[in-house]
Amino acid sequence: MDMLIALSSLPLAPTPPGQRIRKPIGPEHDLVVAWVARHFSPAWASEARAALANRPLTLFIAARGDPGELLGFCAYDATARGFVGPIGVRDTARRSGIGAALLLACLHDMRSMGYGYAVAGAVGAPDFFRRVAGAIDIPDSTPGLYAGMLRAPSAAP
């Protein structure tokens, strides 16, 4: 199911203590894509690569420390124009506000780029999107844009 998010009345995006929510710089791009593939999936890594190719780029990371440690990411205009996501936080760092900060960073950026609404596609954690951004369900939105999508072959039996 896809969800719709109005960008006109977003809450402020608090940054969790000790974290930086920011866009990656050039030398970090390959590391970000590899991290997304390792912690999530090749398809999300492909979307991260697409977001990093946009100008201005459309992906935020959460990092802490020096040298930095990557804790999460969120992209937009990666699946398709106007879509927000994918979003992922490292499993050991969840439930501490990082996901909310990343999602709101993307949504505020979309608003500043001129969008009025964002679509969260094929949502896997709908209550997170409802809570953080007031997302509402889009009826009859499955499979939507994902119909017939190319997928990696599953392992041979």
Ligand X SMILES: CC(C)(COP(=O)(O)OP(=O)(O)OC[C@H]1O[C@@H](n2cnc3c(N)ncnc32)[C@H](O)[C@@H]1OP(=O)(O)O)[C@@H](O)C(=O)NCCC(=O)NCCS
Contact positions vs ligand X (CB under 6 A) = 85, 87-89, 94-100, 123-125, 127-128, 131-132
Nearer to ligand X, 128 or 146 (CB): 128
Nearer to ligand X, 7 or 106 (CB): 106
Nearer to ligand X, 25 or 43 (CB): 43
Nearer to ligand X, 40 or 57 (CB): 40
For residue 55, which amino acid is it?
Answer: R
Q: CB of 93: closest distance to ligand X in angstroms? A: 7
Exposure string (b/e) for 77-87, b if CB count within 10 Å is 16 or more?
bbbeeebbbbb
Nearer to ligand X, 7 or 123 (CB): 123
Nearest position to ligand X, beta carbon:
99
Closest Cα to residue 60, out of 43, 46, 73, 78?
73
Q: CB of 123: closest distance to ligand X in angstroms? A: 4
Compute the Cα dihedral for 147, 149, 152, 157 and give only its sign.
Answer: positive
Q: CB of 28: closest distance to ligand X in angstroms? A: 19
Q: CB of 68: closest distance to ligand X in angstroms? A: 17
Q: CB of 153: closest distance to ligand X in angstroms? A: 23
Q: Is 127 exposed, middle or buried (0-12, 13-18, 19+ CB in 10 A)?
A: exposed
Compute the Cα dihedral for 117, 120, 122, 124 and give only its sign.
Answer: negative
Strand partners, 84: 76, 120
